[in-house]
Amino acid sequence: MMPTVTFATACWKRDWRQILLDPDYLGKAQISRHCFPFAERLLVINNVDQDLPEVLAAAQKKVQEGIIDRFVLAHDVLLSFQLHKEQFTQWQYYNALAPLMAIYECRSEYLLYVTGDVYLERPVSWIEKAIAYMKKEPRVKVANLTWNGNYREAKKESSYSTWNFYVAEQGFSDQMFLVRIEDFRCPIYGVVRGDAAHYPRGDVFEARVFSHMKNSGWKRATYRWGSYIHK
């Protein structure tokens, strides 16, 4: 039996209109083009300020239309991951809160998380292949599509390739990640290595995951035959 997978994305004050008011964006470009029967489709509402009533109404409409199954308001879940708000700047805090909230709320065995500005231009059937490969290679803990059609870059960053994946010894992006929830619900976010300095804005969520992956020998698999768009 195929493991269950939750799809999750997040909106905030600068992109909620694109995600919730465009009739095709969330349901088609973000969800259905993955060609996978998600057990749950989750929206995290994060840092929307004065627009909250309008955002809640738009999110409830997406539930009524069957586009998502539920939505949650982001709240401070840092203690569940042995983190403290004082470890983050304000921007870093909200940046980390969206994916951590999705991880915290996930009810499936796997989580596919994408940021609100990530979408697919065409259908790609990849999730089942990725899960099968992650089960076969236990050190591969993260899978994703190639970013912005940059297949040469993905190959260059990898250590080796299989028929379906470029496999890298390091690297992580919060733009898209498919993970086994058991691995990422642990308190793995407390260390930031010096070689994570290439991530912008300091000790962000991405840098923390990157650091734990390197410290633990975890690998990343990038699908060779499909891409997401991040503008």
Burial classification of residue 127, based on how many CB atoms lie within 10 Å of its CB (0-12 exposed, 13-18 middle, 19 or more buried) = buried
Chain segment 185-219, per-residue pLDDT in tens: 999 999 999 999 999 889 999 999 999 999 999 99
pTM: 0.98
pLDDT at 195: 95
Distance CA 186, CA 164 (A): 29
Residue 129 has a CB neighbour count (10 Å cut-off) of 17
Domains of the chain: 5-230 (3.90.550.10)
Give me the chain's average pLDDT, please: 97
Chain segment 108-149, per-residue pLDDT in tens: 999 999 999 999 999 999 999 999 999 999 999 999 999 999
